[in-house]
Amino acid sequence: MTDSHEPPTPGSEPAVFRLALREAPVPHGSAAASIPIPRAGATPQAAESETPAMPGKRSAVQEADARSDSAQTAEARWPSRLTVAALVAIAALVVVVPLRASSTFLTDVTQLAAFCLVFAGLWLLTHRMGLLSVGHGALTGVGAYAALHAVNDFGLPPMLMPLAGFAAGCAVGALLGIPALRLPKAYLALLTLSAAVAFPIVLRQLDGPLPVTLDGEFIAPTWTGIAPNDEHIWEFWLVVAWVAVAFWLLHGLLTGPVGRALVATRDEPTAAATFGVSVYRLRLAGVSLSSGLAGLAGGLMLIPVNFNDQSLYPEELSIKLFALTIAFGSTAIGGSRLIMTVPAATVLVLLPVWLVDRPGWVTQGGWIGFLKSEFFLYAALLLVAAYARSRRARAVRLYEA
Amino acid sequence: MTLFLQRVFDSFANGSAYAALAVAISMVFRSTGVLNLAQGQMAMLSAYIAVVFAAGADPGVAFSGWLTPFATPWPIWAAVAGAVVVSAAVGALLEYTVIRPMRGDPVPTIGATLGLYLLIGVFVVKHFGGRQRFLGSPFPQEHTDRFIIGGARLWFDTIGLTLTMLAAIGLLALVQRTTKVGLAFRAITSNRDSSALVGIRVEWVVMGGWAVAAALGGLAGGLIAGELNVRPDMMERLLIFGLAAATLGGLRSPALALAGGYLLAFAETMMAGYVGFIDSQVTLVWALGVLIVVLAVRPSGLLSRKAARKGLRT
């Protein structure tokens, strides 16, 4: 009912019957091509099921059988080799980078870690729920604003301030989601883009034109052995700890029944409703959680940066976030994995740094300079990623028809 | 009363621009289901094209060297008309090269329109710089060119802008109702597949729809440039108000989008004028509030429910 306005995907009817949310696998909908099957990443069957365009696709019943067999073994719960390798690499970097890097660079990397959470929220929204948000930059700003004022005005311990950001993000996300989710998907993009444009103006009205500084410091406890003027190392580990816990919780949520139900609301909303999922409520919860993650990240941004300002969250940030979400984390690059938020955040934070280190690139005149400018790179990325994605969706549709 | 009347008059110019963008957005959306978030940037590009035409062969303005055969500066009405023609071509080109390959898939399509949003912005900043440019109005703008009604001044400029916009939108409606091309456009709005089956060249008509929408936005951009200055970010506010106005029409009714544009501009001027703590910048937020409330209370916009259901099914 909620989605009666959208044309049905061709060849989607049989999926109604094979969708049993608690036991059967994620359905092979058109967009299900982008889902890694949880818990079975390393098995050859799973590798096959990630490419549904292959002719040798097994029936859903066979797959359900295979899953109930393999779900018994501990091995099947193990993440794929690529994911393990990436996690080990990230863990190594988290230990090594702070000890080697300059404090400026480390501040960038701390922000990078926080942006991973924003991308996780966007990834959940875009790739798991099939919804669009062009306002996550603004939601991050909302989180930063709430966290800062929770500490400055209400005396919240700075250590807990990201929670205030999370709450504010959830609330604003719900506010945008309540009207938009009853309508075609384009409305959420419309509302979030409006929010992204409006946010810097609101913030200037609320906080004034000058930056507001956080009344709090992050001093490393003595047991860490971090020198007093090296507090950025402590700040980095603090942020990474928050991010790691949030990712762990999110991953747990998404590999369970809730995650499967979310995917079902994306591919087969009618079927999901038939199986007792309240599509609107689940989507609202998803949008709220996604916004909350952005808000949490906003709270974390204050740990390395210590102030909030209208210029930090312009609407271009929201568009860049959206661009990188489309490019990374779909099957185009690296498959639909939560871990792909890390390279996305890396590009977001380090691309400007890298460009500034190449003065010839930035100041070059004529068309060459145009082609090398940051916004052009993002525009090209968006267009290419969108094109690649539509090509893939078409291939899947043709195969299913 | 005088002040009130003055504010009503003041809202006409902005209202026309909001209405034009809203009509363009809902025209594209109802025929193809594509929410063109780059509509405002396309209008901004059009304003810059008008600047180029109006400048003649001015070495300080990019691309004006291409105009060497027509090197004298064009009158402003001609510059705006030229910009409208070029905008229509750009709109058709963008539909053909960027939007059509997406095949109506919502995520990639919105991504592509956002890509255009960035691309047009960076293109303009690159070639024209970030600073303001001035393009006059095609209508008389002397300080004596006005009517005094009830003590309030109604400028010829405002009248000309409003009437031109209304005439353009009216002409569009007339074309849709009376000509074969218009019939084809209405047919694909109603049912795309069936239209293809009865021999309508859907792709051509969609491309034409994009061209007309871009031309309408371009007209708004060129005319409003006499009020605002020409800046790379001149259309951000207008886009938000245009989207809000289009939402009042449920994104599907150009007539209601038109009314919504004037209504929002009226409300904006009144808020800024009478509510102390709201200055002219914050009215943007107010538009966002209207959007949220309207969508929450009447998701179909101001359409009747029956009409909305009919519209949504197609």
User: Angle at CA B40, nearest 5°, toward B130 and A170?
Assistant: 100
For position A310, which CATH number holds?
1.10.3470
- Angle subtended at Cα A141 by Cα A140 and Cα A143, rounded to the nearest 5 degrees: 65
B68 confidence band (pLDDT: 50, 70, 90) = low
State pLDDT tens for residues B233-265: 888 888 888 888 888 877 777 888 888 888 888
Residue B234, pLDDT score: 81
To which residue do tokens 């005439």 refer? B167
Q: Are residues A42 and A158 in the same domain?
A: no
Tokens representing residue A325 in the block? 């979400």
- CA B280 to chain A, closest CA, distance in angstroms equals 11
More reliable by pLDDT, B31 or A397:
B31
Confirm whether A87 is domain-assigned.
Answer: no
Q: Does residue A211 surpass a pLDDT of 70?
A: yes
Distance to chain A for B226, nearest Cα, Å:
24
Report yes or no on A64 lying in a domain: yes
Q: Which residues of B touch A197 (CB under 8 A)?
A: 236-237, 239-240, 284
- What are the C-alpha distances in Å from B207 to residues A206, A236, A385, A390, B201? 44, 51, 23, 19, 10
b/e per residue, A164-181, with b = 16+ CB within 10 A? Answer: bbbbbbbebbbbbbbbbb
Which residue in B102, B121, B279 is closest to A390 by CB distance? B102
Chain A interface, best mutation among B32, B118, B236, by max A CB count within 10 A: B118
Q: Which residue of A has its CA nearest to B312?
A: A5
Q: What ipTM does this complex have?
A: 0.82
* pLDDT digit string, tens, across residues A292-321: 999 999 999 998 888 888 888 988 899 899
Q: Specify the higher pLDDT residue, A13 or A359.
A: A359
Q: Which of B63, B114, B116 to mutate to test the interface with A (most CBs of A within 10 A)?
A: B114
* Same domain assignment for residues A271 and A197: yes
Say if residue B16's pLDDT is above 50. Answer: yes
Instruction: Give tens-digit pLDDT for A227-274.
Output: 777 788 888 989 999 999 999 999 889 888 888 898 888 888 888 888
Going through A169-273 in order, the beta strands assigned E by DSSP cover: 212-213
A109 and A64 fall within a common domain:
no
> Do A52 and A174 fall within a single domain?
no
Q: Are residues A35 and A151 in the same domain?
A: no
Interchain proximity B284–A319, CB inside 8 Å: no
Domain contains A78: no
Residues of chain B with Cβ-Cβ distance to A393 below 8 Å are: 103, 105, 108
Q: Domain check: are A60 and A127 in the same one?
A: no
Identify whether A94 is part of a domain. no
A183 inside domain: yes
User: How is residue B70 written in tokens?
Assistant: 């027509």
Q: Looking at per-residue confidence, does A201 or A287 come out higher?
A: A287
Domain that holds residue A255: 101-400
Residue A341 has a pLDDT of 84
Asked if A111 and A227 sit in the same domain, the reply is yes
Please check the confidence at residue A337 and state whether its pLDDT lies above 90: no
**Given pLDDT bands bounded at 50, 70 and 90, which one contains residue A17?**
very low
Question: By CA distance, what is B308's nearest residue in A?
Answer: A5
The residues, any chain, with a CB within 8 Å of residue B229's CB and separated by 6 or more, are B132, B133, B134
> Residue B129: its chain A contacts at CB < 8 A?
none
What's the confidence (pLDDT) of residue A120? 93
Q: What is the mean pLDDT of residues B77-95?
A: 91
Please name the residues in contact with B182: beta carbons below 8 A apart, sequence gap of 6 or more: B175, B176
Same domain, A266 and A394: yes
- Regarding predicted confidence, which is higher, A393 or B91? B91
- Are the Cβ atoms of A326 and B111 closer than 8 angstroms? yes
Q: Please state the domain count of chain A.
A: 2
Q: What is the pLDDT of residue A148?
A: 93
Q: Is B311's pLDDT higher than 60?
A: no
Calculate how close chain B gets to A264, using CA atoms only, in Å: 17
Instruction: Name the residue facing B240 among A184, A197, A394 (closest C-beta).
Output: A197
In this structure, of A367-381, B118-132, B266-280, the range with the lowest mean pLDDT score is: B266-280
Same domain, A149 and A270: yes
Please tell me whether residue B303 adopts helix, strand or coil conformation. Answer: coil
Task: Quote the pLDDT of residue B303.
Answer: 56
Same domain, A57 and A122: no
pLDDT score, position A371: 76
Q: Which residue of B has its CA nearest to A132?
A: B107
A326, B37: Cβ pair inside 8 Å? Answer: no
